[in-house]
Amino acid sequence: MPGAARTASRRFALAALVAALLLGLGGAGAAPGLETDQFFAWGRHLEDMTEVLNARVNLELERLVADLNRDGGERPCQKVRLRFFKRHRMLFFDGFETWSVNSPLVSRSPLGPEEMREFEQKYIYGGTSPLFDTGRWMPSSPTVEVNGIRLGTDKLTHFLGTAWYYHRWYRKARARGATPAEAEDRAVRRGLRHEITILGRAVSGVLSLADLEANYEGMWFYERLCAGDDPHVVHEGGLWRLRGPFDLRDYVTPEWDESWQPNIYVRRKWGKVKPRMLGYCPMLEHPRVRARRREYAKRDRVTETEELIDEMVTAGKLPDPSGFSIESVCDEVANRGSVRGRAAGSGLRRADR
């Protein structure tokens, strides 16, 4: 019956519109976010999780080896990499991240309902709209400490999940005759395009350089998984075996900490983030924060991702990330006389590196 069908279609369209509006508003208290906030963890004690996270990844590598031996025979390294990736791939988040945000063995912040409530009050992205800020449609990633470096657990998804795609681009470029350096460059550029468009800035208003760093390091993890001079997994004497254990310390750098490596924000988001960041200016004087940033300054280096970002900044394609750093924010206020230049004298400025 065409008349009835038209009526049903109209009613359906109306209902869809009403549902989108009402349910969107009704869900305003839903997800804290897709991002991570290392500022919240400033001054809070966290156990170093290097051993625990290494053990978790090595357990999966051991199981990968067992699977390979069960199936028998040699196989191309790329298939081994894919098999490892598939072992922990989950819906949206990586299996390692899911484990790290849930396991009682992982010291993290926020942890437990009480700290979670405090986090929701102080969350660096808490000033944005939970309805219109797509970054808040997903849960935020707590902070963990690895080898003295604070990082969001989302970096595990970047390092072991997103990096798989980086590595695929790398291998593709190599297969087309690119040198390792050219292939690396192509993968990193493509990754940046993704982070600017579908994965980051255009969607959530944040371009996370720390995410890019984790992606980049993960690309090398996948490359070394079963190839190169020192692979983790080898096929010898008709059997697969774990030759060298995985160690996160080979990959994690201070650039993974988003309170050290500033994100690049779009204007609408920055307007909401900056006031919350200002609240952390006094914390720059906290002994633990000072000590950590001093240590970071020693370990910081110019990474390949940073070189690419500098190139984009010079070409006017991206704003300078140093303008979004905590020091820059605090200096700006200090220069206006609201706060005496606490940050200026700290000697721990990432922007001056």
Q: Which residues contact 258 (CB under 8 A, 6 or more apart)?
A: 36, 37, 38, 152, 208, 210
H helix intervals, the chain:
2-26, 50-71, 77-88, 95-100, 112-122, 154-157, 163-175, 180-196, 201-204, 209-225, 267-278, 287-299, 304-314, 326-335
148 binds other proteins (CB under 8 A): no
Which position among 42, 85, 93, 256 is part of the footprint of other proteins (CB under 8 A)?
Answer: 93
Q: Which stretch binds other proteins (CB under 8 A): 112-120, 181-189, 205-213, 317-325?
A: 112-120
Closest separation between CB of residue 66 and other proteins, Å? 13
C-beta of 53 vs 284, nearer to other proteins: 53
107 binds other proteins (CB under 8 A): no
Peptide bond into 2 cis (omega under 30): no
Closest of 48, 46, 64, 47 to residue 245, by C-alpha: 64
Q: How far is CA 98 from the centre of its chain?
A: 14
Residue for token pair 């595990």: 156
C-beta of 138 vs 266, nearer to other proteins: 138
Cα 189 from Cα 197, distance rounded (Å) = 12
2 binds other proteins (CB under 8 A): no
Which position among 10, 44, 47, 51 is part of the footprint of other proteins (CB under 8 A)?
Answer: 51
Over the window 218 to 247, marking each residue x when it contacts other proteins by CB under 8 A and - when it does not, the resulting string is ---------------------------xxx
102 binds other proteins (CB under 8 A): yes
The count of chain residues that interact with other proteins, using the rule CB under 8 A, is: 52
Binding site for other proteins (CB under 8 A): 1, 4-5, 7-8, 11-12, 15-16, 19-20, 23-24, 26-27, 30-31, 50-52, 54-56, 58-59, 90-93, 98-99, 101-105, 111-113, 116, 131, 137-142, 245-249
